[in-house]
Structure 1
Amino acid sequence: MDGVDNSTRSSAAPVGGDGAALSGPDLARAALQAAREQSAARRGNAGKKTGGFRPRRRRGWSGPGPDDRDPQPLGRLAARIARERGWTEHLAGGQVFAKWPALVGADVAEHTKPVALKDGELTVQARSTAWATQLRLLQRQILKRIGDGVGRDVVRRIKVQGPAAPSWRHGPRHVSGRGPRDTYG
């Protein structure tokens, strides 16, 4: 014929097993049985009976295992956002400031404080010149401990500053010269 499968074409008068034309409820049962067989043939299990109701699984429901749509811990979401936006370097630098006493020890942290971290150079201010000298001597050990605690390439150098000298400048206005404007020569 014209390329159409004859098994799917319905004849004008369906015929039962005894050769008589079907009508009424028998016709409905035969049509239902034919539809079930065609459906089973399409799924690949033509010989199987599909009696009974089988609930359809809705797409979009997650199963008993973990899924991307499950609620996530806030820390994991924050870490993923930081990684996607390239903030990990800045966050690692912030950890140096937050974990300073744990990284260098309580004794050193009592007399020093981190001031700035820029391009891998950590600026640390000491309370006295003696502690500044001590910190310069301990620089390698401190770099190793920071690398182990926060990350290898976060801090590559340490710049140590001594205590800040007192300033005579107070307020927005200033007159150049020495000392307070008193009766000095």
Structure 2
Amino acid sequence: MTEPEEQDALRLAREIANSYRGAKQTGQNAKRKSRPSKPARPNRDEPSALSDVLGELVENQGWTEKLASQRVFTDWPKIVGAEVAQHSEVIAFEDGEVEVRTDSTAWATQLRMLAPRIVAKLNEEFGDGSVLRIVVRGPQAPSWKKGLRSVKGARGPRDTYG
């Protein structure tokens, strides 16, 4: 190649590269109008934290209250302590009423006595007035009404003693 041909080839290569980069073109193609560009998103090249993106999604969808109420289930061990959480679990939360099931009647009694303090702690954690009361349920007692050797109309094991 001769020197003028090399310069034409280099000029053409530069024009192609510049067109891909979005830079202004030189020469004859420079007179062509370019389309108006959309405004760039702010900080488009900078990564955003996933928590920020999810927080924005939750807020836009109106899920903030629902998620806050679900924290009663997930944060129960942190609120009442590990030992109490080991013997109790939140089974429902509706209309400001937290329903808790315990694994023994002793723990149910203990939780009933601690209920005002737990309500205060829950309101401190989730916002004032979000929890109105705690309903404590003891363990489920065995049913004498069902089974292989049950008698219809009987009162359970008390019938055998009297």
Q: Which of residues 142, 145, 149 is equivalent to 2:121?
A: 145
Change (3 A) 1:85 1:176: farther
Aligned equivalent of 2:89 = 113
Offset of residue 75 of structure 1: 1.7
Change (3 A) 1:163 1:89: same
| Structure 1 residues 156-167: aligned runs within 5 Å | 156-167=132-143
Structure showing greater Rg: 1
Aligned equivalent of 1:136 = 112
Distance 1:138 1:71 in 2: 46
Change (3 A) 1:70 1:125: same
Unaligned runs of 5+ in 2: 1-35, 157-162
Aligned equivalent of 1:101 = 77
Distance 2:50 2:153 in 1: 57
Distance 1:84 1:136 in 2: 39
Write the letter of the residue equivalent to 1:127: D
Tell whether 2:63 aligns with 1:87: yes
Offset of residue 123 of structure 1: 0.2
Aligned alpha-carbon RMSD (Å): 3.5
Offset of residue 86 of structure 1: 2.0
Preserved CA contact (<8 Å) 2:99 2:136: yes
Change (3 A) 1:80 1:170: farther
Offset of residue 177 of structure 1: 3.8
Preserved CA contact (<8 Å) 1:143 1:157: yes
Change (3 A) 1:169 1:92: farther
Offset of residue 132 of structure 1: 1.2
Distance 1:143 1:101 in 2: 14
Any idea what SS the aligned residue of 1:123 has?
A: strand
| Structure 1 residues 4-153: aligned runs within 5 Å | 60=38, 66=43, 71-153=47-129
Q: Report the TM-score when normalising by structure 2.
A: 0.60
Preserved CA contact (<8 Å) 1:92 1:154: no
Change (3 A) 1:151 1:66: farther
